[in-house]
């Protein structure tokens, strides 16, 4: 959720609600602590109230998960739910710290406190990352594709690059080392695609002031003599990089070095082979962008690996805490 | 194989680069997220229900608010020993006014806590756990609590009293409000038990307005603290076996003056009481062993005074021991003692005389005297009283009259002069006959501040004169010697003396010049059993309501077969 120009319109009501509610409860707590030898704990009237409010907030926060699953539910717009989720989530931390009377207690309450802090911190981290990572992806990954399909897209691109190189360089002398299991793999739906004779790469095109991402098609050219350096380069550098990306530790992973390598390759080839070189360069650029997209995707969504399971554990142990606290208050 | 000619891709072919149902699958991150989401509740519940299988009852410590203090640590994993499940622990928690709890009964089953005062408002009377809060660590004190627990009532005492109960009890309250010891604690008050058995405020120890102690005793501190007790009393006059106890050494001449100090009489432990001339000591039999060291042991004649003030009367015959009157007897008892003693003397004198020189009366007396001398001479006295018109010479010749005459002379030296009994005691004299007099009971309290505790042994490193500065100048026993003085010799009230240490620390150039010692209410005051302030922890009012076997005690249970401990 971007805290952008719509912030004031969407978030202000929730900010106000939480400020008022939080101020009243916190003020009540400190007033109740006057004259006491120690901070009121969870069994005091004010402490119990704060605990109940905090617990209800936690349950409300947890309801965002099913709400997002059932988008057709007519229970308020999701963006309002998200705004409420953010501000109520921030409010429940001070409320529950006051509920504890600034005491960590035994392992159950200590675990609950730690879980609460981690859940809130992970949520805040996620919210912060969501403010600039999408923009970064938009700016630096014009070849963005669906995250789960990155591997498939790159395999397709590699296949197409191989055919393009073969078409440019002509058939290899001796048995082909690029056939076999490397390129005859299933695409996951039980069928194999007809081998196209073109190559499609994502690219940025501008029309006036409008910029957009498009798929750029490169068609193979007729064989160009003396193109073995191209084939050799393709096999030694491009294939390993296209298959493994950053893990290949290839110089093609760095834009500047890739440009230099392709520039050097062009000097070794007939100009009629240069379009193929450009296509390969675009394919490697797409691979770099997809590598960046993977990293950004992990940052953008990785915090959920902490936030979600810990919040589930928090809710489960919260009910345990309620039971034992009521039993021995 | 020749490469195929170039072909432009069809739109459908390009669209199939991404399968239409791609969203139905989970990417790696989504799968990992799903695994973690499923694991989270399993791990949480696994921890909660699994740990008891490994650690047993100790798993309960996971929801303990904190470590249990040492006295209760035995039941650290047995919550129900103190807690009533699903009921509030004390009256301070939420909803406590709506839910009755038996928690206090669980506490009193081991140690009762009698009310502070019967006339305090019930609404302001806290439950046990409201003040005595556990779960603060092994070494935490269950007795030390913040002043607010006390000042809740004592900052506005009139509003804290149930006036209807006050009328029934008929006691006087007489307390002043305060909020903090170092700021507004009133001057210490001295309370005594009056003739009706009620505690009465004698007065407050304000400089220039000190109350007097009706001690019924005559004692001159100033005289006793002078060298030679102001009378050139030397070690030569003291019994040999007592000299070392009062400071004589082999290198000191016997002609040196006896010099007493505070510790010559005021001791904290019964082991320091006995003087050699009275090793058993009347007082020792009455003192329990291993005194707490809080208060000076009461002054007892046999242990503190007898070495110098022997109660001998008369001039003994050669080879006769002086007649020593026992202490602690009223004049009628002294008379009977003297009569018996004199009668034994006279019989003894008779025993040295030949039988033919004795009269019939004397012989009969001598014979019968072997049985009950005192009875015989009472009989003789009564005969002498009814015999018609004896002349003084004839009267004096009877054995009974001899006893009467000699007893009368001894009583004169006991009561008429300024020695022996009259030296220290006051009398009720309803008649001329001394045997009808009554020595007024002395009344010197062992504990001066009935509602405030004091521990002398904790203050043993401070000079006596710092808190009892008036002792050296006091000439009467009615002086309450609880005043001190500052370093310039200016008098300080008792409260001011205490506040010199028991107040917030003040420093000058880094040096501590005042205060620093705890000055909380509980440092000196106790809450429970406030109407019996001189009772200690062993009082019946503080005993357990239920006695248990050792096994039951370890388990923290009360057997239904056990009888509650009765007040008897």
SS3 string, B199-254, reads EEEEEECCCCCCCCCCCCECCCHHHHCCHHHHCCCEHHHCCHHHHHHHCCCCCCCC
Handedness of CA B123, B125, B127, B133 (dihedral sign): positive
Residue B171 and residue B188: Cα distance in Å, rounded?
Answer: 19
pLDDT tens for each residue of B301-350: 888 888 888 888 877 667 777 788 888 889 999 988 888 888 777 766 66
With CB atoms and an 8 Å threshold, state whether A197 touches B29.
no
pLDDT tens for each residue of A89-148: 999 999 999 999 999 888 999 999 999 999 999 999 999 999 999 999 988 898 889 999
* N-term to C-term CA, chain B: 118
Residue listed under structure tokens 């030694």: A236
Residues of B whose CB is below 8 A from A151: none
Nearest Cα neighbor of B358 from B323, B399, B305 is B399
Which conformational region is residue B135 in: left (phi greater than 0), alpha (psi within -120 to 50 degrees), or beta?
Answer: left
CA B455 to chain centre: 9
* pLDDT band for position B509 (cuts 50, 70, 90): very high
pLDDT tens for each residue of B210-260: 888 888 999 999 999 999 998 899 999 888 888 888 888 889 899 999 999
Interface test with B, best of A33, A40, A43 (most B CBs within 10 A): A43
* pLDDT band for position B377 (cuts 50, 70, 90): low
Residue B173 and residue B121: Cα distance in Å, rounded?
Answer: 14
Residues of B whose CB is below 8 A from A323: none
Interface test with B, best of A37, A71, A328 (most B CBs within 10 A): A328
Q: What is the pTM of this model?
A: 0.76
With CB atoms and an 8 Å threshold, state whether B32 touches A321.
no
Contacts of A1 (CB under 8 A, 6+ apart): A79, A82, A83, A86, A127, A130
- The tokens for A34 are 């006057």
Whether residue A126 lies within 8 A of chain B, CB to CB, comes out as no
Cβ atoms of B160 and B153 within 8 Å: the answer is yes
Neighbours of B315 (CB within 10 A): 8
Interface test with A, best of B2, B31, B44 (most A CBs within 10 A): B44
Please, where are the H alpha helices in B486-546?
A: 494-499
Residue B28 and residue B73: Cα distance in Å, rounded?
Answer: 51
pLDDT of residue A182 exceeding 70, the answer is no
- DSSP assignments along A198-250, one per residue: SEEEEEEEEETTEEEEEEEEE------SS-HHHHHHIIIIIHHHHHHGGGG--
Contacts of B510 (CB under 8 A, 6+ apart): none
Give the mean model confidence (pLDDT) for residues B493-512. Answer: 93
* pLDDT band for position B457 (cuts 50, 70, 90): very high
| H/E element, B514 | strand B511-514
Whether residue A198 lies within 8 A of chain B, CB to CB, comes out as yes
Residue B548 and residue A173: Cα distance in Å, rounded?
Answer: 101
Residues of B whose CB is below 8 A from A324: 63
Whether residue A188 lies within 8 A of chain B, CB to CB, comes out as yes
Chain mean pLDDT for chain B: 82
For A162, the 3-state DSSP assignment is helix
- The tokens for B34 are 């799903």
Q: What is the pLDDT of residue A69?
A: 85
Cβ atoms of B301 and B328 within 8 Å: the answer is yes
Separation in Å, CA of A7 to nearest CA in chain B: 29
Residues of A whose CB is below 8 A from B88: 43, 329
Closest-CA residue of chain A to B80: A328
CB pairs under 8 A between A and B: 145
C-alpha atoms less than 13 angstroms from C-alpha of B191 in its C-beta half-sphere: 21
Phi, psi of B485 (to 5 degrees): -150, 155
Closest-CA residue of chain A to B83: A328
Phi, psi of A61 (to 5 degrees): -60, -40
With CB atoms and an 8 Å threshold, state whether A302 touches B14.
no
The predicted complex's ipTM stands at 0.84
Closest-CA residue of chain B to A165: B3
Residue B503 and residue A282: Cα distance in Å, rounded?
Answer: 83
Nearest by CB to B37, from A171, A309, A328: name it: A309
Residues of B whose CB is below 8 A from A198: 6-9
With CB atoms and an 8 Å threshold, state whether A108 touches B62.
yes
Residue B542 and residue B191: Cα distance in Å, rounded?
Answer: 24
pLDDT of residue B389 exceeding 50, the answer is no
C-alpha atoms less than 13 angstroms from C-alpha of B250 in its C-beta half-sphere: 0
Residues of A whose CB is below 8 A from B94: 43-45, 47-49
Whether residue A148 lies within 8 A of chain B, CB to CB, comes out as yes
In sequence order, the β-bridge partners of residue A204 are A213
Pairing of strands B323-324, B438-439: unpaired
Whether residue A48 lies within 8 A of chain B, CB to CB, comes out as yes
Separation in Å, CA of B547 to nearest CA in chain A: 25
pLDDT tens for each residue of B60-86: 888 888 899 999 999 999 999 999 899
Residue B5 and residue B472: Cα distance in Å, rounded?
Answer: 130
């Amino acid at each position: 959720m971007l805290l952008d120009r719509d912030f004031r319109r969407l978030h202000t009501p929730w900010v106000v609600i939480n400020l008022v509610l939080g101020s009243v409860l916190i003020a009540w707590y400190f007033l109740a602590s006057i004259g006491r030898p120690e901070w009121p704990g969870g069994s005091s009237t004010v402490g119990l109230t704060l605990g109940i409010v905090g617990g209800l907030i936690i349950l409300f926060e947890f309801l965002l998960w099913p709400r997002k699953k059932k988008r057709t539910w007519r229970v308020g717009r999701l963006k309002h739910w998200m705004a409420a989720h953010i501000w109520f989530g921030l409010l429940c931390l001070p409320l529950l710290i006051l509920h504890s009377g600034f005491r960590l207690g035994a392992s159950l309450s200590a675990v609950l406190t730690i879980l609460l802090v981690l859940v809130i911190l992970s949520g805040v981290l996620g919210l912060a990352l969501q403010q600039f990572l999408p923009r970064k992806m938009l700016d630096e990954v014009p070849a963005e594709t669906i995250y789960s399909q990155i591997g498939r897209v790159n395999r397709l691109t590699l296949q197409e690059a191989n055919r393009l190189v073969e078409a440019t360089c002509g058939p290899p002398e001796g048995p082909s080392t690029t056939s076999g299991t490397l390129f005859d793999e299933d695409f996951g739906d039980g069928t194999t695609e007809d081998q196209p004779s073109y190559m499609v790469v994502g690219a940025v095109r501008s029309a006036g002031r409008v910029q957009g991402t498009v798929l750029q098609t490169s068609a193979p050219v007729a064989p160009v003599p003396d193109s073995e350096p191209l084939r050799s380069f393709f096999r030694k550098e491009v294939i390993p990089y296209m298959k493994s990306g950053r893990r290949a530790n290839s110089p093609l992973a760095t834009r500047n070095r890739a440009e230099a390598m392709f520039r050097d390759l062009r000097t070794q080839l007939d100009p009629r082979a240069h379009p193929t070189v450009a296509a390969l360069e675009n394919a490697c650029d797409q691979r770099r962008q997809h590598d960046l997209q993977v990293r950004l995707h992990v940052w953008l969504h990785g915090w959920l690996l902490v936030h979600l399971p810990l919040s589930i554990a928090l809710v489960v142990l919260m009910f345990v805490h309620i039971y034992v606290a009521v039993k021995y208050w | 194989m020749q490469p195929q000619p170039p072909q432009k891709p069809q739109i459908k072919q390009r669209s199939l680069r991404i399968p239409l149902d791609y969203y139905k699958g989970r990417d790696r991150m989504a799968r990992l997220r799903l695994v973690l989401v499923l694991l989270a509740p399993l791990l949480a519940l696994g921890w909660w229900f699994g740990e008891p299988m490994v650690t047993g009852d100790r798993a309960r410590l996971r929801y303990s608010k904190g470590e249990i203090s040492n006295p209760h640590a035995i039941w650290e994993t047995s919550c129900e020993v103190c807690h009533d499940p699903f009921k509030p622990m004390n009256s301070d928690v939420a909803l406590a006014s709506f839910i009755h709890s038996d928690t206090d009964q669980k506490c009193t089953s081991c140690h009762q806590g009698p009310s502070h005062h019967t006339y305090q408002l019930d609404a302001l009377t806290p439950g046990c756990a409201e003040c005595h809060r556990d779960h603060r660590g092994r070494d935490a004190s269950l007795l030390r609590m913040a002043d607010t627990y006390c000042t809740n009532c004592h900052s506005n005492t009139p509003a804290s009293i149930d006036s209807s109960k006050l009328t029934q009890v008929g006691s006087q309250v007489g307390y002043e409000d305060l909020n903090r010891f170092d700021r507004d604690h009133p001057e210490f008050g001295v309370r005594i038990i009056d003739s009706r058995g009620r505690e009465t405020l004698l007065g407050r120890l304000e400089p220039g307005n000190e109350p007097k102690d009706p001690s019924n005793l005559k004692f001159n501190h100033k005289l006793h603290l002078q060298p030679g007790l102001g009378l050139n009393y030397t070690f030569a006059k003291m019994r040999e076996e007592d000299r070392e106890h009062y400071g004589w050494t082999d290198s000191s001449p016997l002609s040196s003056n006896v010099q007493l100090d505070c510790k010559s009489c005021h001791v904290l432990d019964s082991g320091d009481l006995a003087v050699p001339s009275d090793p058993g000591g009347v007082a020792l039999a009455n003192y329990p062993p291993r005194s707490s060291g809080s208060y000076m042991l009461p002054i007892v004649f046999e242990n503190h005074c007898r070495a110098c003030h022997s109660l001998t009367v008369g001039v003994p015959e050669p080879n006769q021991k002086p007649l020593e009157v026992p202490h602690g007897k009223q004049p009628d008892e002294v008379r009977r003692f003297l009569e018996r003693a004199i009668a034994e003397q006279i019989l003894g004198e008779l025993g040295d005389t030949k039988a033919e020189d004795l009269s019939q009366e004397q012989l009969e007396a001598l014979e019968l005297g072997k049985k009950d001398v005192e009875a015989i001479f009472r009989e003789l006295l009564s005969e002498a009283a009814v015999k018609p018109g004896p002349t003084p010479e004839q009267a004096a010749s009877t054995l009974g009259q001899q006893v009467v005459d000699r007893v009368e002379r001894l009583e004169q030296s006991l009561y008429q002069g300024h020695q022996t009994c009259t030296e220290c005691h006051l009398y009720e004299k309803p008649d001329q006959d001394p045997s009808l007099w009554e020595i007024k009971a002395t009344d010197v309290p062992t504990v001066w501040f009935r509602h405030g505790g004091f521990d002398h042994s904790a203050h043993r490193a401070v000079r006596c004169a710092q808190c009892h500065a008036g002792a050296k100048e006091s000439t009467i026993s009615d002086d309450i010697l609880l005043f001190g003085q500052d370093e310039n010799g200016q008098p300080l009230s008792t409260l001011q003396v205490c506040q010199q240490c028991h107040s917030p620390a003040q420093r000058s150039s880094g040096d501590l010049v005042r205060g620093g010692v705890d000055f909380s209410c509980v440092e000196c005051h106790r809450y429970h059993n406030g109407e019996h302030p001189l009772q200690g922890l062993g009082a019946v009012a503080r005993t357990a309501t239920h006695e248990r076997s050792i096994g039951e005690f370890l388990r923290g249970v009360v057997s239904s077969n056990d009888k509650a401990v009765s007040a008897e």
